[in-house]
Amino acid sequence: MVTFNRIVSRYYNDYYSPLGTHPQKRPSGRVLFAGGLVALSLLLNLVFVVKYCLRFTSPLDDYQELKQYPLVNTTLARASLPPMSKSKLSENAIVTTLYSDSYAPAVAALGHSLRKVDTSARLIMLYIPSQVSAGALCLAASSGFVPRPVARIAPPHNGSGIAPRFVDQYTKLALWTLDAAPDPVRALVYVDADALVLRNFDELFALPYAFAAVPDVYTDARGFTTNFNAGVMFVRPDSALFADMLAALPAARFPHVMAEQAFLNQFFATDALRLPYAYNGNLALKERNPRVWSGIQREMRIIHYTLIKPFVSKQWDTVPLDRLQHRVDEAARSKGGMFRDEMQHWGRVWQETRTVYAQHLDECRRLSS
Ligand SMILES: *[C@@H]1O[C@H](CO)[C@@H](O)[C@H](O)[C@H]1NC(C)=O
Ligand SMILES: *[C@@H]1O[C@H](CO)[C@@H](O)[C@H](O)[C@H]1NC(C)=O
């Protein structure tokens, strides 16, 4: 509507101002043309208004907390998981990635949050050796993630159109190769480093599907979507599928700006199992509809710091460890304090990480200096 109003005012200035100065003249073709445009834009504005009034309101936009049942029947879930073996390495893994030093404290905090919920899965961190310093790798691994080097996967189409902060993100596709490792992974839950775990989610490892993720949400007109967010994904690694993905990349039609997330949405379009929001507590959910946020709070497994990241600067740069608490306080104040609780939670988990793994972190500091 704004666009059409602009068009109207532009044509008004161009074509109507001569009318007042030459009232005796008959309307010229130009004036008739301009009048037609005004009428057309009024009509289109009307169509937009009617469409806006008649738009579909999803149960998420109009959320009411009506339910009382638990999200997962843990008795049933445990029965469908193989018994944990102390002698054998688990074939289930929780995997994150480290592409630059700036996310190292985030990975350490995520690892600590996973330890606290006592997961039965292994913790693996994929990292790009040429882009991560020894000190940052040590810090990220301090709370339990086992580093595993991977080759960077370059964006397709020579990186044309991709958002600069996503240029390394195609490396995430290496998740699908973990079945071919000497210690093969059969099922994994990928968790972005800008997340913290609040509750155990081992029930996901029993899923019989190849791929599952949580629907995405936007704070703009798109709102709740059927597209999924690639920050939390259930994946059954499969090297053959990985080869298929790479082969499909050049021909796949998707917005390049959103990198691997847009590609994966295109690739798994009909097949992705949509998981409950509790598995990817994306901060955008709270901004979009705070009632949805409070509705999933009790069951939330993973909180995902999408809109504000309390561990990197506003320009996405590394924050020195002795400035992290200051950054958390700043993040807690942004957007009018909308995410104060969530930012303070990250700050508390980070402080715990520093305390629990103090000795290990001292060694990391020696590596960095
Ligand atoms: C979980 O499932 C089992 C087996 O069907 C059932 O007996 C039990 O009542 C369920 N528990 C809950 C909390 O629904
Ligand atoms: C990518 O860039 C290289 C070198 O600039 C060029 O030779 C090649 O054709 C480009 N490929 C595509 C798919 O644009």
Residue 4 placed within a domain: no
Residue 135 placed within a domain: yes
- Whether the pLDDT of residue 8 is over 60: the answer is no
Residue 242 placed within a domain: yes
- Point out the ligand nearest to the CA of residue 74: 1
Confidence band, pLDDT 50/70/90 cuts, at residue 213: very high
Distance CA 209, CA 235 (A): 8
User: Which atom of ligand 1 is closest in space to residue 73's alpha carbon?
Assistant: 1
Confidence band, pLDDT 50/70/90 cuts, at residue 9: very low
**Protein residue closest via CA to atom 2 of ligand 1:** 76
Mean pLDDT lowest among 76-90, 242-256, 325-339: 76-90
Q: 2 CA to middle of ligand 2, Å? A: 39
Is residue 239 within 6 Å of ligand 1 at its C-beta? no
Output the six-digit token pair for 117: 């919920």
**What pLDDT shows up at residue 51?**
79
Distance CA 142, CA 145 (A): 7
Is residue 154 within 6 Å of ligand 2 at its C-beta? no
Distance CA 368, CA 139 (A): 10
Q: 75 CA to middle of ligand 1, Å? A: 7
Is residue 73 within 6 Å of ligand 1 at its C-beta? yes
- Point out the ligand nearest to the CA of residue 70: 1
Rounded to the nearest 10 degrees, how much is the dihedral formed by the CA atoms of 253, 255, 260, 262? -80
**Is residue 333 left, alpha or beta, with left meaning phi > 0 and alpha meaning psi from -120 to 50?**
alpha
Return the number of other C-beta atoms located less than 10 Å from residue 156's C-beta. 20
Is residue 251 within 6 Å of ligand 2 at its C-beta? no
Q: How far is CA 189 from CA 42, 86, 121, 132, 275, in A?
A: 51, 21, 9, 23, 12
- What average pLDDT does the segment 292-301 reach? 97
- What average pLDDT does the segment 241-260 reach? 95
**What pLDDT shows up at residue 25?**
63
Q: 158 CA to middle of ligand 2, Å? A: 6
Mean pLDDT lowest among 9-18, 136-145, 180-189: 9-18
Q: 83 CA to middle of ligand 1, Å? A: 19
Confidence band, pLDDT 50/70/90 cuts, at residue 7: very low
Pocket of ligand 1, candidates 68, 72, 76: which has the most ligand atoms within 8 Å of its Cβ, to mutate?
76
Q: Which residue has the higher pLDDT, 262 or 52?
A: 262
58-106: pLDDT as tens digits: 899 999 999 889 999 988 888 887 777 666 789 999 999 999 999 999 9
120-140: pLDDT as tens digits: 999 999 999 999 999 999 999
- What average pLDDT does the segment 228-255 reach? 97
Count of domains for the chain? 1
User: Which atom of ligand 2 is closest in space to residue 158's alpha carbon?
Assistant: 1
**What is the rounded average pLDDT for all residues in the chain?**
91
**Protein residue closest via CA to atom 9 of ligand 2:** 158
Residue 116 placed within a domain: yes
Return the number of other C-beta atoms located less than 10 Å from residue 205's C-beta. 23
Q: 140 CA to middle of ligand 2, Å? A: 35
Amino acid at 94: I
Residue 277 placed within a domain: yes
CATH number of domain containing 277: 3.90.550.10
Residue 148 placed within a domain: yes
**Protein residue closest via CA to atom 2 of ligand 2:** 158
Parallel/antiparallel/unpaired status of strands 224-235 and 187-191: antiparallel
Distance CA 154, CA 156 (A): 6
Mean pLDDT lowest among 3-7, 106-110, 116-120, 201-205: 3-7
Output the six-digit token pair for 121: 């899965």
Confidence band, pLDDT 50/70/90 cuts, at residue 12: very low
Distance CA 308, CA 115 (A): 24
Q: How far is CA 341 from CA 172, 196, 218, 332, 346, in A?
A: 30, 13, 21, 7, 9
DSSP codes, 81-109: SPPP-SSSPPSEEEEEEE-SGGGHHHHHH
Cross-strand partners of 96: 125
Distance CA 341, CA 283 (A): 11
- What average pLDDT does the segment 276-285 reach? 98
The structure's pTM equals 0.86
**Protein residue closest via CA to atom 10 of ligand 1:** 73
- What average pLDDT does the segment 256-282 reach? 97
User: Helix (H, G, I), strand (E, B), or coil: what is residue 369?
Assistant: coil
User: Which atom of ligand 1 is closest in space to residue 75's alpha carbon?
Assistant: 1
**What pLDDT shows up at residue 238?**
98
Residue 235: phi and psi, rounded to 5, are -135, 135
* CA Rg value for the chain: 25
How far is CA 235 from its chain centroid? 16
Is residue 161 within 6 Å of ligand 2 at its C-beta? no
Residue 243 placed within a domain: yes
- What average pLDDT does the segment 289-295 reach? 97
Is residue 315 within 6 Å of ligand 2 at its C-beta? no
Tell me how many helices (H) and strands (E) the chain has.
13, 10
Q: Which residue has the higher pLDDT, 22 or 268?
A: 268
User: Which atom of ligand 1 is closest in space to residue 76's alpha carbon?
Assistant: 2
Q: What percent of the chain has pLDDT over 70?
A: 92
115-125: pLDDT as tens digits: 999 999 999 99
Q: 95 CA to middle of ligand 1, Å? A: 30
Output the six-digit token pair for 235: 């994946």
Q: 151 CA to middle of ligand 2, Å? A: 20
Return the number of other C-beta atoms located less than 10 Å from residue 214's C-beta. 25
Is residue 298 within 6 Å of ligand 2 at its C-beta? no
**What pLDDT shows up at residue 172?**
97
User: Which atom of ligand 1 is closest in space to residue 74's alpha carbon?
Assistant: 1
Cross-strand partners of 177: none
**Protein residue closest via CA to atom 1 of ligand 2:** 158
Q: How far is CA 349 from CA 78, 80, 193, in A?
A: 28, 31, 14
- What average pLDDT does the segment 302-325 reach? 95
Q: How far is CA 224 from CA 29, 131, 216, 219, 280, in A?
A: 47, 35, 7, 9, 14
* Domain carrying residue 256: 90-368
Residue 75 placed within a domain: no
- What average pLDDT does the segment 5-29 reach? 52
Q: Are 89 and 326 in contact (CB under 8 A)?
A: no
**Protein residue closest via CA to atom 5 of ligand 2:** 158
